[in-house]
Amino acid sequence: MGKVLTIGEAMGLLVAESEGPLDQVKHFERHVCGAELNYIVGMARLGFDAYYVSRVGNDPFGTCICNFLRENHIHDTYVQVDDAYMTGFQMKEKVSCGDPKVANIRRNTAFTHLTAADFAGIDWQGVQLLHVTGIPLALSDNCRQAIAFLMEEAHQNGVPVSFDTNLRPMLWPDEQTMCDTVCKFSLKADIVLPGLSEALRITGLADEKSIGQFYLDHGVKTVAIKLGGSDGVYVCTAEETHYVPSYHVDHIVDTVGAGDGFAAGFTSGLLDGLSLYDAARRGAAIGALQIQVAGDNEGLPTRSQLQEFQERAK
């Protein structure tokens, strides 16, 4: 399998062990989290040579993140350890179903001080894909400059870039800045993976077909728009378009990580040479597996688990 890179802020995660408001729960279980972290876990479990680009603090959460990467066969070669700033972390409610409330403690963290100089040692030989999201763009000017530099470096080295919009309004100063910035960066990518509600906000357009055409007209090669829930995915290139159905799930436990799972499934499918339709079906399958378990990435499958699920769910 070829090399895949992603960049993002991995954080510590404290998950409540009982239901209730975070300020009243007394016991938490420690994990690690981050949308890009979920993505690269998914790619590693599918057998890709996975590299994570980040910066963490010289603290217990930072050590935990580096240990987690190694345990999941993800290279931490490009993870910088910062002695001056802390690793960010989240607190997450326990819920019996649906989306849990999350509190972010991530201002002025180590990752927000990432610079383009941190990428000087990246070896692009053999890299098949760089995956980025809209989350780091919200964190600091440094992060925006670093992401722009890394995307440009990827293209100069002939490496395609995938972009998952991943809007986080609470991290931005205002709606317009968020939409303008994320739209600008998404147009620099080769593959764009927005949710429909996000894409409507970013582009101001009315439906998935016009959004897909907007991206194609601006040079994006492949667009996969997650329509939400059981509505599946709309995928398009200059040559073809498809509506791809989702997989039925009897009981949804935790929706966190579903979009990251889709991104891993879809991009890995394209890298494996699957058709556009089949790549989207793989993404839908991994998203369906992820929402059936608690945790941000615990449901992301190996290839054998993925194959078993897709054969069983036909």
Angle of helix 276-290 relative to helix 258-271, nearest 10 degrees, comes to 150
Three-class DSSP category at 71: helix
DSSP state of 99: P
Catalytic-role residue among 174, 260, 272, 296: 260
Burial of 265 by CB count in 10 Å (0-12 exposed, 13-18 middle, 19+ buried)?
buried
**260 counts as catalytic:** yes
Query: Strand pairing of 3-7 and 191-192?
Result: unpaired
Burial of 206 by CB count in 10 Å (0-12 exposed, 13-18 middle, 19+ buried)?
exposed
In this structure, what token pair is assigned to residue 64? 């935990």
CA distances from 19 to 28, 92, 101, 258, 303 (A): 11, 10, 11, 22, 34
- Tell me the C-alpha distance between 124 and 121, whole Å: 9
Helix (H) or strand (E) holding 268: helix 258-271
Strand boundaries in 173-290, DSSP class E: 191-192, 222-226, 233-236, 241-244
Which residue's structure tokens are 């190694």? 70
In this structure, what token pair is assigned to residue 77? 């070669």
User: Taking the CB of residue 174, how many other CB atoms lie within 10 A of it?
Assistant: 9
In this structure, what token pair is assigned to residue 216? 């194609």
CA distances from 16 to 27, 30, 216, 242 (A): 6, 9, 43, 40
> 156 and 126 in contact (C-beta within 8 Å)?
no
So which residues are the catalytic ones?
Answer: 260
